[in-house]
Amino acid sequence: MASLLITNGTIINAADKIDADVLIENGRIVRIEKGIKATVDRTLDSTGKLLLPGGIDVHTHLDMPFGGTSSADDFYTGHVAAAFGGTTTHLDFSIQGAGEGLYPALERWHEKASGKAVIDYGFHMIVREMNDQVLADMDALAGQEGVPTFKFFMAYPGVFMVDDGLIFEAMLRARENGGLIMMHAENGGAIDTLVKLALAKGQTEPKYHALTRPPLAEGEATGRAIDLAHLAGAPLYIVHVTCFQALDRIRRARDAGWPVYGETCPQYLVRSYEDYERPDFEGAKFVMSPPLREKWHAIKLWQGLERNGLQVVSTDHCPFGFENPPQKQLGRNDFSKIPNGAPGIEDRMMVMWEHGVNSGRFDAHRFVELTSANPARLFNLWPRKGTIAVGSDADIVLWDTKKKTTLSAKTHHMNVDYNLFEGMTVTGGPSVVISRGEVLVENDTLMAKAGRGQFLKRPAGAPALA
């Protein structure tokens, strides 16, 4: 493996700033100090750039079946897009099939990634059914397979939703095997009733996706999940928080010292319910669950990021074509049939730098916490990932704070025909992206080949984050 020396670096980690050179050998960082003299295969001058830890996106859905179709990015196109955006690691979701244990799902997702992976990756497991075999598989996945995280849905009755008793049983098991329960928190029963009532009234437009999934349904389920986790004595991670009602329950639990963690996504911070009102079915582009909220919720979410009520920004990247292919059109006459999901894996870090750092909401250190360090700590990748330190993987982004990018479907690398942030100009972005010492992207050119990404076996155990 080639050696690499990065000179004139300004390293920004979550907790420190270091002016130094970085020497990389065999994919790992071996020295960090000023004036390194070494014989290497390549020297990279980072004058005028920041050195940031590679981004870690812990919530993606690549090549995922949903509603009779599949998400538009596979493990190659999704990884390429991630690399262009400065993300060098992601965690995707394997999905348990009906009537089977967890191992067949894990094998399917390993096959999906095989030969295609460009960045490093790991898996969570979505659990849809619970029995003795599944409980035993949870132990084996956590203890032997490097998959110690399990996601449950309180929404989508008849598809993903499981009842409180099964969730509680899984939480008890996770407490014993060192796993972490992840929760999609929405009251699926109430939402299902609201959807049926809306359709009976002929309310079929995309905006009714949001109006039938109100913030209170998310807040109630979030609180219920937190209470169940506390009763079980298990840690809990709430995915894609969108509203004040959910944030408030997470904040209160954390204030009480409970091991509860929250994630939000860029779309919930810079987009809003008004996007569903767009004409000509354009609102379908923004159909995701939970939905976008009224603008005032975003103000609260930003405050949550600033004050540590929320710990992670991921994407929930799950793209479906609008017209090419016409996947979103499946719900043109029935909003409940619009595939739920949207793109974002490429844009996350640039959007967060623009609206977080450039807007003065938080500094570059907090940016690194939210996009890399905290994900690594919570999902047992630390300190291999999430920091620029001796012994860590050499996942480094040379970040150009002056680089201007206009986000657009015309120029992005995601395999989907629209962009959630179409026309948004951001200042700050990656000029060189490095994974384990190998240059993935340089000067907007892909340098890496399919198949070089590695599966990350993660140990079980409590998150390394308070």
Residue 391 is given by DSSP the state T
Cα first-last separation, the chain: 37
Q: What span, in angstroms and rounded, lies between the C-alpha atoms of 7 and 163?
A: 55
CA 394 to chain centroid: 21
What is the predicted pLDDT for the residue at 68? 81
Class of domain 4-52+394-402+422-446: mainly beta
Q: 164-177 and 215-232 are packed helices; what angle lies between their axes, rounded to 10 degrees?
A: 50
Contact 156, 133 (CB under 8 A): no
Q: What span, in angstroms and rounded, lies between the C-alpha atoms of 294 and 453?
A: 39
Residue 353 is given by DSSP the state I
In the chain (466 residues long), the average pLDDT of successive 10-residue segments reads: 94 98 98 97 98 99 90 98 98 96 98 98 97 97 98 96 97 98 98 98 98 98 98 98 98 98 98 98 98 98 98 98 96 97 98 98 98 98 98 98 98 98 98 98 96 98 92
Q: What span, in angstroms and rounded, lies between the C-alpha atoms of 321 and 415?
A: 8
Going 103 to 128 to 289 to 364, the CA torsion angle's sign is negative
Contact 460, 177 (CB under 8 A): yes
Q: What span, in angstroms and rounded, lies between the C-alpha atoms of 465 and 310?
A: 12
The SS3 of residue 417 is coil
Token pair of 460, please?
């079980």
Q: How many helices (H) and strands (E) does the chain have?
A: 13, 19
Q: What span, in angstroms and rounded, lies between the C-alpha atoms of 323 and 280?
A: 12
Contact 58, 317 (CB under 8 A): no
Q: What is the DSSP string of 419-453?
A: -TTTT-EEEEEEEEEEETTEEEEETTEE---TT--
User: Which residues belong to CATH 3.20.20.140 in the chain?
Assistant: 55-378
Q: What span, in angstroms and rounded, lies between the C-alpha atoms of 207 and 396?
A: 41
Q: Which residues pair with 5 in a beta bridge?
A: 23, 43
- Superfamily (CATH H level) for 55-378: Metal-dependent hydrolases (3.20.20.140)
Query: 3-state DSSP: the chain helix, strand, coil percent, rounded to 5?
Result: 35, 25, 45
What is the predicted pLDDT for the residue at 200? 98
Distances (CA, A) of 403 to 18, 81, 109, 218: 22, 18, 36, 38
Q: What span, in angstroms and rounded, lies between the C-alpha atoms of 386 and 369?
A: 8
User: Which residues belong to CATH 2.30.40.10 in the chain?
Assistant: 4-52+394-402+422-446
Residue 107 is given by DSSP the state H
Across the beta sheet with 87-95, the strand order is 55-60, 87-95, 120-126, 149-153, 180-184, 236-238, 260-264, 312-313
Distances (CA, A) of 35 to 32, 319, 382, 389: 9, 45, 28, 17
Q: What span, in angstroms and rounded, lies between the C-alpha atoms of 407 and 422?
A: 6
What is the predicted pLDDT for the residue at 466? 84
What is the predicted pLDDT for the residue at 66? 83
Measured from the Cβ of residue 295, the count of other Cβ atoms closer than 10 Å reads 12
